[in-house]
Amino acid sequence: MPAGGAYHPLWPGKRPGGRPAVAPVYRVLVHRQYFDRWLEMPERVSVEKAQQLWDHLAHNPGGPPPIGSTCILRGKLGNPQGEGWSRTIHYEVSGAGRVNYQYADAYRASRDGDLHRVVAILTIDYSSH
């Protein structure tokens, strides 16, 4: 969790089960309201499925996942959160888990910060449809 006085809604989401074998292309960030749900994901959907999600987000968030399915949300919920962001993508982790996210190829956390590729997990839902 970030320190300091500035408001930081996105917190780093570490890979469930440990470090990845290959360095990530995108930083995975989780909205602070869903950070606890991110931490419990391995217990809710399995470590393997949580790792598959993280690997997809960290390497190819705009492409189809090797396992699972994605779709772009329609309407206002699908709109990008700002310039440079993708539309909202809905990822089915399992029958009991869904994640909505957007990604940006050039994100700057502060005016003076460095540019990074990031994925922002906006919501995590464990209820059934």
pLDDT(2) > 60: no
Rounded CA separation 6/83 (Å):
21
Helices (H), the chain: 35-45, 47-59
CB atoms under 10 Å from CB of 36, counted, come to 10
Rounded CA separation 45/7 (Å):
30
CB atoms under 10 Å from CB of 40, counted, come to 14
Write down the pLDDT at residue 1: 46
Tell me the domain boundaries of the chain: 12-125
Rounded CA separation 79/95 (Å):
25
pLDDT(5) > 70: no
Per-residue pLDDT tens over the stretch 63-86? 999 888 899 999 999 999 999 999
CATH code of 12-125, in short, is 3.30.2310.20
pTM reported for the whole predicted model: 0.90
